[in-house]
Amino acid sequence: MRAKELLVLLKERGVDCKECRGAEKSFLIQKVRENLHLPVKNKINQENAKGKDESVDDIMAKLKGMPGMENIKVYGRDDIEKMAKQFGNKGDL
């Protein structure tokens, strides 16, 4: 599961985890295991949340196909994380 999906599991069970934002995935997995026994309080429409990501991907694909955008590189989250590791995360990216 993705970290976003793990956060949804916690939110469905009413677990307020401020330290979960930006936390390591292993920490999130531990929190989910600790709270998985709790009943689901508010069902979040996971398809709707997933649709938001897909719409961003659709927008990015449309940008790549626009006239005049052929030679422009559109950086995604993975690209930015790789650059941060490569150049040292000095906060000036």
Tens-place pLDDT, residues 30-59: 999 999 888 888 565 444 455 455 566 677
Mean predicted lDDT score pLDDT of the chain: 77
Q: Quote the pLDDT of residue 93.
A: 46
Q: Quote the pLDDT of residue 26.
A: 92
Specify the 3-state DSSP secondary structure of 86. Answer: helix
Dist CA 49 CA 56 (whole Å): 11
Q: Quote the pLDDT of residue 91.
A: 55
Q: Where are the domains of the chain?
A: 3-87
What is the pTM for the complete model shown?
0.44
Q: Quote the pLDDT of residue 44.
A: 53
Dig out the tokens for 5 from the structure.
């999906």
